[in-house]
Amino acid sequence: AFADCTADFQAQVSATITLSLPRTVTVRAIASDGPRIGSGVIIDSKRGLILTSYHVINGANSLSVRRFE
């Protein structure tokens, strides 16, 4: 029974990764205190909306975003 539960969990994790990876990005910021890096999630690709952590982008002079491939 435990093996069946583990296999089901692994399948669910694999499916979640498959669905979310195309929406995941790396966010790089340059600020006066140095470079920062974080991750984000594409919320609306048509409008270019990305959800990321405030501490990564706060006070940034420039930002770059790359999709995971």
Phi/psi-derived region of residue 48, left when phi > 0, alpha when psi is between -120 and 50, beta in every other case: left
Residue 50 has a pLDDT of: 93
Instruction: Map residue 1 onto helix, strand or coil.
Output: coil
Query: Residue 69 pLDDT > 70, yes or no?
Result: no
Higher pLDDT among residues 5 and 42, named by residue: 42
pLDDT band for 7, please (50, 70, 90 cuts): confident
Q: Is residue 68 within 8 Å of 23, Cβ to Cβ?
A: no
> What tokens were used for 26?
């790396």
Predicted TM-score (pTM) above 0.95: no
pLDDT tens profile 19-65: 776 788 999 999 999 999 999 999 888 998 999 999 999 999 999 99
